[in-house]
Amino acid sequence: MTTITLRKQASNLVLAIALATGAAVVSGALFPAEAQAQRKKKEKKEEDESKPQYSKEFIEAYQPVNQALNAEGADASALIPQVRSVIPLANSPDEKLAGGGLVYNAGIKAGDRAVQLEGMGIMLASGKVPAENVGQYNFIAYQLATAQNEFAKARPYLQAAIDANFSTAEIGPEDLQIAMAESYFSNAEYAAGLDYLNQAIDSRRAQGLDVNERWYRRGITVAYQNEIVPQVYDVAIKWVDEFPSASNWRDAINLARNLNDYDGGEMLDLLRLSRRLDALTEKNDYIFYIETADARRLPKEVKDLIEEGFASGVIGRDDTYVAEAFSTASGRIAGDRADLPALERDASAGDAGLRTVVAAGNAFLSYGEYAKAAGFFEKALGMPGADVNEALTRLGIAQIGTGNYAAATETFAKVSGERMPIAKLWAAYADAQSSATSASATAQTQASSAE
């Protein structure tokens, strides 16, 4: 910040500050004499009004303090009380700007950030900071407040810098927005910070702008470490939507696994999603899946899973547990499949019990007969005693299997309780599949038209 000086020049006070502006002068050479005289009188009035306005009392208080502050060897810290004594005399916007600059400069010379912030606040409140400097000054105020851990005080300044489109060669709009989220995180306001981050992400995406992946990773890290739900899932879902790699999907699914104490059925539906996304990359993932599916209950699903594990090299054929599960599953498939017609008949009966209906839904889901599975889960939802959230989750999975992604998304949206994160992840997968299908159809249509 340039040092502020105040001096008298003819009948005019000039504020020598980096923010000073000049009044425009319009030539009257093209006007008749009388018109010129009137024009000059008007311009003189406008010029006078545009000049800084200082009272005699303010000048008399300001000048000696300013001179003392700028004197060689001055003790700026000792002069701060005198500097502050000028502020009550600052009544006009120009005086407030000058007084605030005096306080700011005193803080600079004294190395006192609190005083610097005080002065910057006075200048900004004056309303006289030129538009081209408003963003910069607010950003400086934000930095000063943050350095003193005054995060709540810092945020309005940062928002003002964002609103003024402040940027430098090193700092862009994205940096300011992530800084706002960090301001909340630094003050342990994790939920508020995640809400802000989510809104910033939504805003950029709505404008068709890219979102730096570090935004997602930072939000997920903070939310995971502090167990902020459900916001952590909102950020994770947007992350895998924009950066849908198998490793990112695996991390998103693991968030739900690690933040919840899921039982076998819930874990099974999460692992089913991992399998669809080729995100089963560790032996333990396969072991968990084999255990939760159970080769005796869902033999076809377990056998197919193990074969995929063998093919990928993640699990070896020499693993005793896996080998036994594979043998059990393989030996039960024929008989299990033979029982399906009878199970379907019993579950379709008007007097079928809930247990039979759910068993039929699970069996046909496991065998990939998704339309039949969906029908039984829908029936189960209308029966007393049904585990509604489990039935909804598996109905949504079955609807994805039939390619009815829109229906699946609607179904998953109805899931609540502990299964909600599972449903959110499956819904994100359904949306991704729907988008991919639409893009493929559009490409085929364009290709056909080109022919």
Alpha carbons 233 and 79: distance in angstroms, whole number: 54
The residue with greater pLDDT, 27 or 348, is: 348
Cis (ω within 30 of 0) for the bond into 230? Answer: yes
Instruction: Provide the number of structural domains found in the chain.
Output: 1
Residue 304 included in any domain: no
Whether the pLDDT of residue 341 is over 70: the answer is yes
The phi, psi pair for 184, rounded to 5°, reads -70, -45
Q: What angle do CA 377, 383, 386 make, to 5 degrees?
A: 70
Confidence of residue 438 (pLDDT cuts 50, 70, 90): confident
Which of 19, 24, 27, 26 lies closest to 2, judged by CA?
A: 19
Residue 275 included in any domain: no
Whether the pLDDT of residue 400 is over 60: the answer is yes
Range of the domain at 41: 1-23+31-128
**Considering only 36-45, 276-285, 357-366, 411-420, which range has the smallest mean pLDDT?**
36-45
Residue 11 included in any domain: yes
Q: How many CB atoms are located within 10 Å of the residue 37 CB? A: 12
Whether the pLDDT of residue 22 is over 80: the answer is no
Residue 53: its pLDDT value, please?
86
Q: pLDDT by residue (tens digit) across 31-83?
A: 233 334 444 554 455 555 557 789 999 999 999 999 999 999 999 999 999 99
Given phi > 0 = left and psi -120 to 50 = alpha, else beta, which region is 111? left
Residue 78 included in any domain: yes
Q: pLDDT by residue (tens digit) across 150-187?
A: 999 999 999 999 999 999 999 998 999 999 999 999 99
Which of 410, 406, 336 lies closest to 366, judged by CA?
A: 336
Residue 67 included in any domain: yes
Residue 115 included in any domain: yes
Q: How many CB atoms are located within 10 Å of the residue 440 CB? A: 10
Residue 225 included in any domain: no
Residue 58 included in any domain: yes
Mean pLDDT in residue range 294-317: 96
Using an 8 Å Cβ cutoff, are 222 and 194 in contact? Answer: yes
Whether the pLDDT of residue 435 is over 80: the answer is yes
Alpha carbons 351 and 179: distance in angstroms, whole number: 61
Alpha carbons 244 and 234: distance in angstroms, whole number: 15
